[in-house]
Structures are given as C-alpha cells and as structure tokens.
Amino acid sequence: AQQYRITLLPGDGIGPEIITVAVQALTVIGKQFDLDFSFQEALIGGSAIDATGSPLPEETLKLCRNSDSVMLAAIGGYKWDSLPRHQRPETGLLGLRAGLGLFANLRPATILPQLVDASTLKREVVEGVDIMVVRELTGGVYFGEPKGVFETESGEQRGVNTMAYRSSEIDRIGKVAFETAQKRGGKLCSVDKANVLEVSQLWRDRITALAADYPEVELSHLYVDNAAMQLVRAPKQFDTIVTGNLFGDILSDAAAMLTGSIGMLPSASLGADGPGVYEPVHGSAPDIAGQDKANPLAQVLSAAMMLRYDLNQPAASDRLEKAVMTVLDQNYRTGDIMSEGMKLVGCQEMSDVLLAALEG
Ligand code: NAD
Ligand code: IPM
Ligand code: MN
C-alpha cells in the first residue's frame, strides 16, 4: 500500500469535532483504495498556548515539514482574545502558513444543487455558481512591515500595518491563478483597489503583464468594493478570482454564503513544494463548540482536496466528494444548511451517515 504521513492539527472550538469526521472518512477511503495513512496529531492555536505557552510550537512546524500533507481544523476562541498579539491563536496559524511557504490559498465556492434552498439568495442567482477564489496567503497587509502600535511624538498611540507586495510575490500567485483559470472556465478576474492604493496598482500592472503568457484566459479587473457587490448581485459572472491576502479573506467568506453555508467551504493552502495545509474556510465557531452542532463537511471536502492536490489520488477524492453528495441527496442537514422538509442532524450523526455512504 502507498504510505502517507498526515499531520493533524485539530486546534480549538469545533476543530476536534470536525477533524475526527474527516479522519474516519479517510480511514475508510484508505481501506478501499489501498492507501496507508499514518496520522500524527500536533498542537496549534489556543490549545497549544494552554499546553506550551506558544500558539505554534517548533515541534508542530517540524512535524508538518516532515509529513506528506497537513490537515488543519480551526483555531481561536474567546479565551485567548485578549492575549498579546504574538501569543494569539491566529498568530500561530499565520506562522504555519509563512513557515511552510503556503502562498496560494485555493477556496472553491461551488453551490451543490441540493443546497440551493439553503442559500439566503434567490435560486436563480445562485444556481450553478462555481467560483474559485485564489487568495495570496503569505504577504500583503497581514505580513507587511512596519507593524505594531507605536507612540507618537504627541504621546498618542498609533496602530500601524503595511500593505505591501513585491513583484515576485504578485507574479507567483498570478501564475497559480492563470493556470487555475486555464483548467477551469478560462476566465480570471483580478480584484484590487488600484484606484486608491499604490500596492494595488503594482498588482494590476503585474497581473496584466502576465496575461500575455496565457492568451486563452480572459482577464478582467475589478475594484474590491465593486467585486463584493457583484458577488452578491450576479455571482455567476465569476469563474476564477485572484486577489491579495485581506481582500481574499473577506471575499471568500462572502462567496461562502452563495453556497448555503460557510460550513461547506473547503480550502487548500499550497506552496512551491512541500506539504500543503488543508483547512475549512470557517473558524473555530466558539458559539456552537462542544454542542454537536458543527457541520463537518467543509473539513471532509478539505480532505478530498488533500487527496487530489497533495496525494495525487483523484479517484479517492472523487469517492469522498460523492459520499458528501449522497448524504445531501438523502436529505441529511446540519443546522447551518437546514431547510424545510430536510432531516436535521448533529455533527456525530452526519459522520455516521457519511461513513455509511462511503461503505455502501
Ligand atoms: P467562524 O467562522 O468561527 O464563525 C462564524 C459563524 O459561522 C458562527 O456563527 C459559527 O457558528 C458559524 N460556523 C462556522 N463554521 C461552522 C460549521 N462548520 N458548522 C456550522 N456553523 C459554522 O468565525 P468567527 O466567529 O468570526 O471567529 C471565531 C474564531 O475563529 C476567532 O477566534 C477567529 O480568529 C477564528 N478563525 C479561525 C479560522 C481558521 O482557523 N482558519 C478562520 C476564521 C476565524
Ligand atoms: C481564515 C482566517 C484567518 C485569516 C485568521 C484566523 C488568521 O480568517 O483562514 O480565513 O484571516 O487568514
Ligand atoms: Mn477568514
């Protein structure tokens, strides 16, 4: 059997509940496709702070680097919200992304036909939506220097972050985006704020220059405010979207709601080489943690992305995605995707029916 070392990062809140479901599903898939997964758990986020004082222990990064792939659930929670920045759970996640060089974050927002009625938008607006958001993940205002809270000469405090991109950073995410668009619908929309920001003007110029290498991809540009509006107004105009770190964070949450719930949206964070990190787009949902209410399907679909991108097992990935379709066809719904006439289940029961669908 093909062997794979997978590092699991359950994190905080609903993280442990949902990652268990994905691990159980992968275990069944492993038997069916003769894949030998060895799972190792490591600490990140709030639970790592509690155990070690650091949101990203050196050991965790080392384990991730030495594995074939990494599956992360979610980090964060009220308990750690008032810690200094370097000790916050979110800083651990950013350190993981930077430490593994994961500059490209692929966030597919596809509406499944079974969930059209779970969307808050009208059927005719969302039916058939299939968007890939390519978010730059290791640069921009999340990482730019200077950053911090500084004392001014008049004795005021001044909070500073810097939105900066080097041309090489724009070019490498641009290439991923053009290649993604090439394999999909052939349309790429680059989102920026070039009417106001210098960093966005450079972004637009570099993306425009790259287009010459991809004559079969149709490139367009939108300002981010208009893009947010267009996503809700007429989302079917989009195929592939490429944008910077902060705009991508915001637009992918908005795109998530086209699909019914953020609990359905997976993602893949990829670097130039080495293992990727596969994580749902949503967070640790502290408001429903420990109540068996979380939708585990974003995590399960993230595992499917891992099978496809890192492990090169497309048939196994298809099988897992098909099992998700089956449970939705059987009308099972967690609260976040519930609609009239459907069967309401918790995380655990969703897991049970998913495993049954996989075995069946
Ligand atoms: P969130 O995504 O955790 O939750 C937003 C809303 O969506 C909540 O009402 C939540 O209950 C719901 N929700 C999210 N995932 C769900 C699921 N799988 N099933 C059902 N409902 C779900 O965002 P937030 O509340 O703004 O942030 C909570 C914490 O998570 C914060 O500490 C934040 O920093 C962190 N966070 C982490 C990640 C990550 O680990 N990648 C991403 C986003 C936010
Ligand atoms: C995400 C999250 C993270 C981000 C936070 C928790 C650091 O919102 O993965 O979308 O902003 O990138
Ligand atoms: Mn986010």
225 and 131 in a single domain? The answer is yes
Atom of ligand 1 nearest to the CA of 90: 34
Instruction: Tell whether 205 is in a known binding site.
Output: no
DSSP 277: E
310 and 238 in a single domain? The answer is no
Partners of residue 12 on adjacent β-strands: none
The closest of 308, 307, 285, 305 to 295, measured between CA atoms, is 285
Determine the distance separating the centroid of ligand 3 and the alpha carbon of 247, expressed in angstroms.
10
Distance in angstroms (rounded) separating the CA atoms of residues 85 and 91: 7
Asked whether the beta carbons of 284 and 13 are under 8 A apart, the reply is yes
Residue ending a domain, among 264, 297, 322, is 264
Q: Is the CB of 90 under 6 A from ligand 2?
A: yes
- The first and second tokens of residue 163, run together, are 């939105």
- The first and second tokens of residue 314, run together, are 């497309």
88 and 138 in a single domain? The answer is no
Atom of ligand 1 nearest to the CA of 282: 2
> What letter represents residue 306's amino acid?
M
108 and 159 in a single domain? The answer is yes
Q: Is the CB of 260 under 6 A from ligand 1?
A: no
Angle CA(163)–CA(207)–CA(248) in degrees, nearest 5? Answer: 50
Q: Tell me whether residue 332 is one of the annotated catalytic residues.
A: no
Q: How many domains does the chain have?
A: 2
Q: Tell me whether residue 322 is one of the annotated catalytic residues.
A: no
> What letter represents residue 26's amino acid?
L
Counting every residue written for the chain, the total comes to 360
The closest of 294, 293, 316, 287 to 304, measured between CA atoms, is 316
CATH (domain of 17): 3.40.718.10
Q: Is the CB of 93 under 6 A from ligand 2?
A: yes
Determine the distance separating the centroid of ligand 3 and the alpha carbon of 310, expressed in angstroms.
22
Catalytic one of 142, 214, 278, 332:
142
Per-residue pLDDT of the chain (360 residues), as tens digits, is 999 999 999 999 999 999 999 999 999 999 999 999 999 999 999 999 999 999 999 999 999 999 999 999 999 999 999 999 999 999 999 999 999 999 999 999 999 999 999 999 999 999 999 999 999 999 999 999 999 999 999 999 999 999 999 999 999 999 999 999 999 999 999 999 999 999 999 999 999 999 999 999 999 999 999 999 999 999 999 999 999 999 999 999 999 989 989 999 999 999 999 999 999 999 999 999 999 999 999 999 999 999 999 999 999 999 999 999 999 999 999 999 999 999 999 999 999 999 999 998
Q: Is the CB of 239 under 6 A from ligand 2?
A: no
> What letter represents residue 310's amino acid?
D
Atom of ligand 1 nearest to the CA of 287: 11
Residue ending a domain, among 231, 264, 297, is 264
Q: Is the CB of 249 under 6 A from ligand 2?
A: yes
213 and 240 in a single domain? The answer is yes
pTM of the model: 0.97
Instruction: Tell whether 25 is in a known binding site.
Output: no
Angle CA(285)–CA(289)–CA(294) in degrees, nearest 5? Answer: 75
Q: Is the CB of 140 under 6 A from ligand 1?
A: no
ipTM, two decimals:
0.98
DSSP 113: G
327 and 247 in a single domain? The answer is no
Distance in angstroms (rounded) separating the CA atoms of residues 81 and 170: 32
Range of the domain at 73: 1-102+271-360
Q: Tell me whether residue 213 is one of the annotated catalytic residues.
A: no
Dihedrals phi, psi of 179, to nearest 5 degrees: -65, -35
113 and 243 in a single domain? The answer is yes
57 vs 15, 52, 60, 149, CA distance in Å? 18, 7, 5, 25
Q: Tell me whether residue 50 is one of the annotated catalytic residues.
A: no
134 and 75 in a single domain? The answer is no
Residue ending a domain, among 264, 286, 302, is 264
60 and 197 in a single domain? The answer is no
197 and 345 in a single domain? The answer is no
Three-state DSSP at 137 gives: coil
Instruction: Tell whether 288 is in a known binding site.
Output: yes
127 and 248 in a single domain? The answer is yes
Residue partners of 229: CB distance under 8 A and separation at least 6: none
Atom of ligand 1 nearest to the CA of 93: 40
Q: Tell me whether residue 193 is one of the annotated catalytic residues.
A: yes
93 vs 23, 88, 349, CA distance in Å? 21, 9, 29
- The first and second tokens of residue 226, run together, are 């208009």
Asked whether the beta carbons of 42 and 63 are under 8 A apart, the reply is yes
200 and 328 in a single domain? The answer is no
